[in-house]
Structure formats: C-alpha cells, structure tokens
Amino acid sequence: MLDSSKLSLVDFCFASRTRNNPAGKSRHTVDAFRTVCWFHCLRMASGATSTYQMDALIEERQTSGADTPVDRKNKWRSYRDGRHTPSTALAGAIERQFPGSHAVLDHPMWQLLRLDRSLQVSIPNLLSQLPPCHFAIVRSGSAAAQSNFVLTSDWSARRLRKLEREAGLDALACLIMLLRKALESGDSRQAHMFGRSLCRMLLLMGRWLYAHGIAQPMVNYVENVLLPMTAYEGCRYSFGEQGYLGAATQLIRAANMIEANENKLLTSVQKAELMLDLLDDKFSLELSALVTPIASPGT
C-alpha cells in the first residue's frame, strides 16, 4: 500500500485527481498529501495490510439493516489514494481510538505548504502547539515571538542545525514558515539558506515520508513550488543527480552502517545528528553532494 511514495507529482495528482496548482477552487494537491499521510498513520497504528482491513479494524459498521452487505473497499481506497478527505466527524471518532491521528490530518504544515493561504492563519496555530524545544529555537529569546512570529536576522547554519536534527512534522513546519516569512520580507539570502536546510531535513525524514506514502510526490511539490523561489545569485538547492529517493536511501544506508559498527541503537536525535554529520563531511564528497546548489532556470 506504499506505491504512492514512489510516484512522481504528476502521477500522484492523476491518482488522487487533484490539481498541481495552488489557484482555483479544485481540490488542492496538499489535501491529498495530508489524507494519504493520515491513512498510513492509521495503517501502521492498526496493523492493517489492506484497505478492507482498514475499514474492518477502524471504522464502525454502518448499515441500515443487519443483513445489508458491506462494501469495505472503495471508501478507504479513496483515502489511500488521496481522492477524498475524511469528514471532521469521522476523523474525530477515529482519534478516540488512535490518538494523534487527527493532529497529523490537520497539522499546520499542510496550510503552510499552500502559497494561496495566508501566513497569518497558519503561524498562530503552529506556534500554539510547538513543543518547547522547537519553540525555543524559533523564538531565539524574543518575547515578541511568544504571541507572534518575528523573523530575526541571527539565523545561521549552526542554529538551523538545531532545528534540522528535530526532523518531523513540527520542525518541518517551522522551516517552511521561516522560508515563507523570508520570501515575504524579500530577504532572498535567508530564503536561500532556509531552502538548503529544507532539503537537508527532507532527507532526514526520508524513511518517515516514505512510510506515510508521500515521499516522492511531496518532495516534487517542494521542488516545483518552494525551492525555485529560494534562488540566490542564480542558484538554488536540489538533491543531486540521483534525485530525492536515491539520495535519502544512500544517506540512511550510510547512517545504518555506522550505527551497526558502533553496535548500539541510536536515539532518533542521535541518528539525525549522525546523518547531518555525514551531509557536512567535506571528506565524503559523495554524501556531502546529496544537497547541492544548481543553476536556477533563466539564469
């Protein structure tokens, strides 16, 4: 049920019948991302191996009579493919059985990925649910940022690394928020720096994004919509010649090999630190080139 993680954005949009266009009234690509992500969150939590089991294990039998046959296939297939978004009532009911699933479906990151949506709506929602470690990094001691988001000028690769190692939906949302705020303020240098950091975090999240069915199509969306706007002095960042899935797989394998040689199980933060070290290793040209600047079209 993970075939969607390998699809290009075009094929993903075809399967989910969405538009790869932030304008207009049609169902947006990002709605398909969040639905597919929610579906796989429930798939892993329930242990289901088919859409039939998803319905049987998760949703209560809703029939008009005891003898009415139940078709358990089409509805959950549509969620798997991102064709429809579950209703608020259904998502709320499932949340009681699988806590945290609704937070995935309605995470502020999905709103931040939509350039047709105002930051003024997404930022307060995100800031209100950030864990303390993320909030401290984003706020950087600014009292004003407790109620509103203030883009400071002291962002550096070192400070961004603190956010990168927390790779997850919250940290990714913070980074996209920073990038969009820099673009809004016209600071192309900072936007370029956040674009590099975004590529690095997406690599760290490779296994998570793949397991949730949105790896390649969501990265394609970021590459097509966000990264072109982060060009600075004629260059923007990308994932090297082998592309995102190849780069993420190479990084994960290298980190796993080192972990095996150490003969100990690393925590998620330690694993993230290790992968960041590999990306920063100037002596490992093959790995450090996984995130590389490329000429921006038209330059």
Total-model pTM: 0.88
Confidence of residue 214 (pLDDT cuts 50, 70, 90): very high
Say yes or no to pLDDT of 235 above 80. yes
DSSP H or E stretch at residue 244: helix 243-262
| Residue among 22, 26, 57 at smallest CA distance from 39 | 57
| Mean of all residue pLDDT scores within the chain | 84
Confidence of residue 146 (pLDDT cuts 50, 70, 90): very low
pLDDT of 144 reads 46
**Do 159 and 137 contact (CB within 8 A), yes or no?**
yes
| Residue among 175, 221, 178, 180 at smallest CA distance from 198 | 175
Say yes or no to pLDDT of 66 above 50. no
Please tell me the distance from the alpha carbon of residue 34 to that of residue 13, in angstroms, as a whole number: 13
Please tell me the distance from the alpha carbon of residue 250 to that of residue 234, in angstroms, as a whole number: 28
DSSP state, 60?
Answer: P
Confidence of residue 124 (pLDDT cuts 50, 70, 90): confident
Place of tokens 């921006």: 296
pLDDT of 209 reads 97
Q: What's phi and psi for 232, nearest 5 deg?
A: -145, 125
Say yes or no to pLDDT of 64 above 80. no
Task: List % helix, strand, coil for the chain (3-state, nearest 5).
Answer: 65, 5, 35
**Do 194 and 230 contact (CB within 8 A), yes or no?**
yes
Confidence of residue 70 (pLDDT cuts 50, 70, 90): low
| Stronger pLDDT, 175 or 74, i.e. the higher one | 175
Say yes or no to pLDDT of 98 above 60. yes
Q: What's phi and psi for 108, nearest 5 deg?
A: -60, -20
Over residues 37-65, the mean pLDDT reads 80
**Do 112 and 122 contact (CB within 8 A), yes or no?**
yes
